[in-house]
């Protein structure tokens, strides 16, 4: 068996997945609140050609028959570092500074999703929604937020308190945005549409998390890093495919030499 | 396979190509009275869970992180930016601007529908009614304001009261009141061109009142509201959009070259 052929094919497949991850990062270079993902590679367990796996590495035979196991994509991790804050001037554009997330949910549903995309808007009843997904933005008590009809000049304080001016009345607080920090940031799952779920649960965000009205958090993708990753993935793929080719050629030469005898 | 990257790059090119259209329209209307800029909001598409986090490995240990690949980007929506534009003085007595929230309501006689606008370039039609100036069709202001034939001067107050002075009379006569309308969610209004907006299911119903009340802005006679397009912001957007488009083109190329390598792998 030509073990190297399969090792090279594994390498090519892993690099192709890396290219897919980079492609998604680059496609979302302009998506507000987007966090880039990173493919992590891992060497497979060494393969015992004589007896096969499974054997713990220390019990495997040494020598020429022992092949290294090739490579696989072990995980994709999300780079949750702060993205640049982009000034938009929008009254209902809110960015999170620090390791916190907004809580959004389907109308009437208990399940809350996490998001960093603070491009909010109102529905005809005055409820605060996330533009695009149409999900309700939740307050600290887990309830939807409604901006009264006669309110004007909505302001969002750094701690998430939403207040507005009312005719013939002083400015009053309406609600406070719910800000959450996931217990296990590395374990966050992407759902698309800028939403995440935290399988390990969440806790209310601490004082290190604040919000900024009139800003949006731009995508965390830096074109230079992604372009380098793209070149790396593509060339890594190419190198592996070349290895397949070389082995195929040597096999071909061997076969033709044997036939000539 | 890298076919995923090919399509992901494709979604990126499509989304940024679309954004280029939006920015182009904003820049084209940088001098349009009462124009409100729009902005595209992007969203990441669905994620393919190759290996979900928490999957058990051969030793029965749950992996702390999984493998997931996103499949690109889409335009989630275009959102109108209804921030105030600059007021410019024109000296024309039928030029009205709104300082603050609100829209003028005009009646489209051809369809009988009401439209909303912040472009206050009004003029008189043959009957003396105030109509929104357009070379194609005159849309009267609603409620209708008719200026008497013998009026020499028209004065419109901040709260919308229209007074006229007639020749030989020093006391002003009130001929009508301009009302303004506002919406809970102006970003949900439908744009129909000619700086007109139409009520939609997303905007909520129009809340009409006297200017200056109920959160509505004041009317300024002799002024017009400039487009709220800021050329610097749009140009930065334009650069970003074009570069993102190019970057995604590079991804498509990289995926294509990878595929080409594979197809060339086996030669006869």
Q: What is the per-residue pLDDT across B50-84, written as a single tens digit (0 to 9) for each? A: 888 777 877 788 877 888 899 999 999 898 999 99
Residue from A15, A27, A187 whose CB has the most chain B CBs within 10 Å, to mutate: A27
E runs forming strands in chain B = 38-44, 47-51, 67-70, 73-80, 87-89, 96-99, 103-108, 113-117, 122-124, 130-132, 139-140, 151-156, 161-166, 173-177, 180-182, 190-193, 196-198, 207-209, 218-221, 223-225
Residues of B in contact with A77 (CB under 8 A): 65
Q: What is the crossing angle of helices A223-260 and A3-27, to 10°?
A: 160
Positive or negative CA dihedral for B232, B234, B236, B239?
A: negative
Nearest to A122 among B73, B101, B184 (CB): B184
Residues of B in contact with A88 (CB under 8 A): 39, 81
Task: For residue A54, give the chain B residue with the closest CA.
Answer: B58
**pLDDT of B220 higher than 90:** yes
Beta-carbon separation of A32 and B42 below 8 A: yes
Beta-carbon separation of B47 and A23 below 8 A: no
Beta-carbon separation of B67 and A76 below 8 A: yes
Q: What is the mean pLDDT of chain B?
A: 89
- List chain A pLDDT tens, one digit each, 261 residues: 577 888 899 999 999 999 999 999 999 998 999 999 999 998 877 666 666 666 666 665 566 556 677 888 888 888 888 999 988 888 899 999 999 999 999 988 888 999 999 999 988 888 999 988 889 999 999 899 998 888 878 899 999 999 988 877 888 899 999 999 999 888 888 888 889 998 888 999 888 899 999 999 999 998 889 999 999 999 999 999 999 999 888 888 888 888 766
Query: Does residue A132 sit at the B interface (CB-CB below 8 Å)?
Result: yes
Q: Look at residue A50 in the predicted model and tell me its pLDDT.
A: 64
Beta-carbon separation of A73 and B254 below 8 A: no
Rounded Cα gap, residues B40 and B79, in angstroms: 6
Nearest to A241 among B6, B39, B265 (CB): B265
Question: What pTM does this model have?
Answer: 0.80
Rounded Cα gap, residues B201 and B108, in angstroms: 20
Q: What is the mean pLDDT of chain A?
A: 87
Q: Look at residue A51 in the predicted model and tell me its pLDDT.
A: 62
Positive or negative CA dihedral for A209, A215, A216, A217?
A: negative
Rounded Cα gap, residues A47 and A68, in angstroms: 6
What percent of chain B lies above the pLDDT cut of 90? Answer: 56
Find residues 21-80 of chain B whose CB sits inside 8 Å of chain A: 39, 41-47, 49-54, 58, 63-73, 76-77, 79
Nearest to A131 among B77, B203, B213 (CB): B77
Q: Look at residue B212 in the predicted model and tell me its pLDDT.
A: 87
Question: What's the complex ipTM?
Answer: 0.72
Least trusted range by pLDDT, from A22-26, B10-14, B202-206 = B202-206
Q: Look at residue B168 in the predicted model and tell me its pLDDT.
A: 81
Rounded Cα gap, residues A139 and A176, in angstroms: 5
Beta-carbon separation of A73 and B71 below 8 A: no
Nearest to B44 among A150, A192, A199 (CB): A192
């Amino acid at each position: 068996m030509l073990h190297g052929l399969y090792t090279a094919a594994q390498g090519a497949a892993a690099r192709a997945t890396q290219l897919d991850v980079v492609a998604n990062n680059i496609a979302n270079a302009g998506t507000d609140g987007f966090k880039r993902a990173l493919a992590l590679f891992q060497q497979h367990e060494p393969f015992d050609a004589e007896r096969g796996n499974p054997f713990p590495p220390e019990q495997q035979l040494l020598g020429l028959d022992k092949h290294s196991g090739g490579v696989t994509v072990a995980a994709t991790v999300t780079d949750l570092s702060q993205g640049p804050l982009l000034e938009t001037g929008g009254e209902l554009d809110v960015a999170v500074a620090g390791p916190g997330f907004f809580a959004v949910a389907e109308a009437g549903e208990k399940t809350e999703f996490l998001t960093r995309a603070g491009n909010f808007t109102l529905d005809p009843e005055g409820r605060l929604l996330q533009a695009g997904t149409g999900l309700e933005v939740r307050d600290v008590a887990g309830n939807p937020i409604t901006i009264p009809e006669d309110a004007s000049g909505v302001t969002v304080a750094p701690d998430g308190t939403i207040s507005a001016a009312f005719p013939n009345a002083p400015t009053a607080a309406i609600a406070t945005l719910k800000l959450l920090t996931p217990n296990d940031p590395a374990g966050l799952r992407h759902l698309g549409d800028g939403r995440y779920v935290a399988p390990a649960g969440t806790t209310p965000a601490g004082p290190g998390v604040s919000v900024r009205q009139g800003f949006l958090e731009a995508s965390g993708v830096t074109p230079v890093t992604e372009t380098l990753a793209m070149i790396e993935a593509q060339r890594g793929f190419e190198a592996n495919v070349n290895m397949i080719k070389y082995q195929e050629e040597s096999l071909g030469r061997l076969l033709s030499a044997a036939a000539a005898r | 396979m890298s076919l995923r990257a090919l399509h992901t790059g494709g979604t990126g090119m499509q989304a940024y190509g679309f954004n280029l259209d939006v920015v182009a329209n904003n820049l084209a209307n940088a001098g349009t009275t009462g124009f409100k800029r729009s902005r595209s909001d992007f969203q990441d598409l669905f994620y393919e869970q190759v290996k979900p986090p928490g999957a058990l490995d051969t030793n029965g240990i749950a992996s702390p992180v999984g493998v997931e690949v996103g499949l690109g980007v889409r335009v989630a929506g275009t959102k109108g930016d209804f921030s105030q534009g600059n007021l410019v003085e024109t000296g024309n007595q039928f030029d009205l601007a709104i300082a603050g929230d609100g829209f003028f309501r005009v009646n489209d006689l051809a369809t009988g529908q009401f439209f909303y606008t912040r472009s206050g370039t009004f003029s008189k039609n043959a009957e003396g009614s105030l109509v929104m100036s357009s070379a194609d069709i005159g849309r009267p202001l609603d409620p209708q304001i008719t200026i008497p034939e013998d009026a020499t001067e028209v004065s419109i107050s901040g709260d919308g009261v229209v007074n006229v002075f007639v020749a030989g009379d020093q006391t002003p006569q009130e001929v009508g009141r301009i009302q303004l309308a506002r919406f809970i969610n102006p970003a949900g209004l439908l744009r129909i061109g000619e700086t007109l907006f139409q009520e939609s299911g997303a905007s909520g119903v129009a809340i009409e009142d006297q200017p200056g009340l109920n959160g509505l802005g004041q009317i300024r006679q002799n002024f017009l509201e400039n487009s709220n397009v800021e050329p610097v912001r749009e140009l930065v957007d334009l650069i970003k959009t074009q570069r993102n488009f190019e970057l995604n083109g590079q991804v498509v190329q990289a995926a294509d070259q990878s595929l080409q390598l594979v197809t060339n792998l086996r030669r006869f």
